[in-house]
Structure 1
Amino acid sequence: METLIGISQEHLHEVTALMNGILADEAVLYFKTRNAHWNVEGPDFHSKHLFFESQYEQLDDIMDSVAERIRSLGHYAPATLHSLVQLTHLSEQSREKNDATGFITGLLHDHQSLIIRLRELITIFAEKYKDLGTSDYVTGLMETHEKMAWMLRAHLR
């Protein structure tokens, strides 16, 4: 059944294609944060283990929300690791040392990269595709990542 919400079907297709990329980025960031939670070592292990847990729990909620936004626009969300890896602009990272500073630096880089991408998409959704709802949604998502990045950055000072 066609989704009739005042946005052309062509624009809905383009918007959801971009949203699929956001979902993929969120999923890769989620797994990288899980990796930090599982594998962090050092004298600050316990506090960083709990910190990374709070971050991946937020990312889990974000992934669900992004997927539901895609579904509300009438399209299916990518849900295989293969498809998510193909759609992300983030890269996986292998580490030789599992210290908190290294994990935090890498995760901060990814959050900042995602914030820049989301900021670009806000205008594209609103102006090019006339989808103010998704533009507003992505604005909130960007603000959430800005706060998560601040929390990571605070650990590096």
Structure 2
Amino acid sequence: MTDATKLGAHRAAPLKTPTALSKEAVTNISAELNVLLADTFALYLKTKNYHWHMSGPYFRDYHLLLDEQADQIFAITDPVAERVRKLGGTTLRSTGHIVRLQRLLDNDAEFVTPDDMLAELREDNLTFANHMRATHALCDEYNDVATASLLEQWIDEAERRTWFLFESGRRS
């Protein structure tokens, strides 16, 4: 295929961003990032849910902590989705798509104690960090250093959230 033919094919292919990565790499990394994006939205909404429904003597501290954490989690969504597009993949299109892909569990309980909220979010953030590590390993396999680099910062942030939730839930 000549360069002119390749250029014409790229122009004719909707949403096919040119990339140096193999088709297999684009498919596999995009799929994993979309699952990670679904988990990000699930974790964000659960964190906001607990922020909104916090109660008890530590209300203010926990309410503010969870708001900060939710903002940090939400800040991941656009870079993940844009990374999928930069790779040449397509990303989530609806809340239904999120529900089909998410691995983190929702909690629709009428009431959750503050201690249980912190413990559940702690475990979710730990799980989220582990999922990102697995995605990082996949990126390493395909030499996708740009995605791996983004993940490293987000893993550190998830570990920090886990630590804060652990310490906030401890009793002296």
State the TM-score, normalized to the length of structure 1.
Answer: 0.91
Paired amino acid for 1:82: G
- Of structures 1 and 2, the larger Rg is shown by 2
Matched, 1:69 2:83: yes
Q: Is the 8 A contact 2:18 2:87 kept in 1?
A: no
Runs of 4 or more off by more than 6 Å in structure 1? none
- 1:110 is matched with which residue? 124
Q: Is the 8 A contact 1:30 1:60 kept in 2?
A: yes
Within 5 A, what are the aligned runs for 1:52-91?
52-91=66-105
Q: Is the 8 A contact 1:119 1:142 kept in 2?
A: yes
Q: Distance in 2 between matches of 1:137 and 1:8?
A: 20
Q: Is the 8 A contact 2:55 2:114 kept in 1?
A: yes
- 2:155 is matched with which residue? 142
The alpha-carbon deviation at position 76 of structure 1 amounts to: 2.5
Q: Is the 8 A contact 1:41 1:98 kept in 2?
A: no
Paired amino acid for 1:51: L
For structure 1, the residue ranges without an aligned partner over 5 or more in a row are none
Moved more, 22-31 or 47-56: 47-56
Within 5 A, what are the aligned runs for 1:2-151?
2-127=16-141, 129-151=142-164
Question: Percent of aligned pairs with the same residue?
Answer: 29
Q: Is the 8 A contact 1:21 1:87 kept in 2?
A: yes
Q: Is the 8 A contact 2:17 2:85 kept in 1?
A: no
For structure 2, the residue ranges without an aligned partner over 5 or more in a row are 1-9, 11-15
Moved more, 55-64 or 91-100: 91-100
Task: Give the length in aligned residue pairs.
Answer: 156
SS in 2 for 1:4: coil
Q: Distance in 2 between matches of 1:15 and 1:121?
A: 8
State the TM-score, normalized to the length of structure 2.
Answer: 0.84
Change (3 A) 1:11 1:150: same
- Report the aligned-residue RMSD: 1.5
SS in 2 for 1:155: helix
- 1:155 is matched with which residue? 168
The alpha-carbon deviation at position 96 of structure 1 amounts to: 4.9
Q: Is the 8 A contact 1:78 1:84 kept in 2?
A: yes
